[in-house]
Amino acid sequence: MNSKKEKVHTNNFKEELSIAEKLIQEEKFEQALSLLEKMKNYDDDEFNDALAHNFFMLYSNTQSIVRGKNICRDLLPFSKIKEKASYKEIFEYLKDKNINLDIDTIKREIELLILKGLIFWKSKNNTIFFKI
């Protein structure tokens, strides 16, 4: 999982993964992500493929939820003063808000928020239309 490996038994890993899942169910996404980040440093040599797959799916989904939540939080005020913005403008705006993601990740996270019905913007030709 990472070059800085820490030994952990499979049962302990499963227990921590269960804790992360519980935190997610309680919508404590930042805490879950923090735990999952720590778990990335575990030596995965003794974990079976299914367990490693479950970890990476949970980690990826939680990371996306946290990123989407942060993007949404910081873009809402921006969306109230602009009718539309290019992803480059959004990238620069978010960078000023200490959200350091590449443009493709920002675009993907915004499109996921739109698909989930969490925001009602429109994405077309590398532009977000805030007011439809």
pLDDT in tens, 67-111: 999 999 999 999 999 999 999 999 999 999 999 999 999 999 999
Amino acid found at 67: R
Structure confidence by residue, pLDDT tens digits, 23-39 = 999 999 999 999 999 99
User: Does 55 score more than 80 pLDDT?
Assistant: yes
Strand order, beta sheet including 122-124? 84-86, 127-129, 122-124
Q: Do the Cβ atoms of 35 and 61 come closer than 8 Å?
A: no
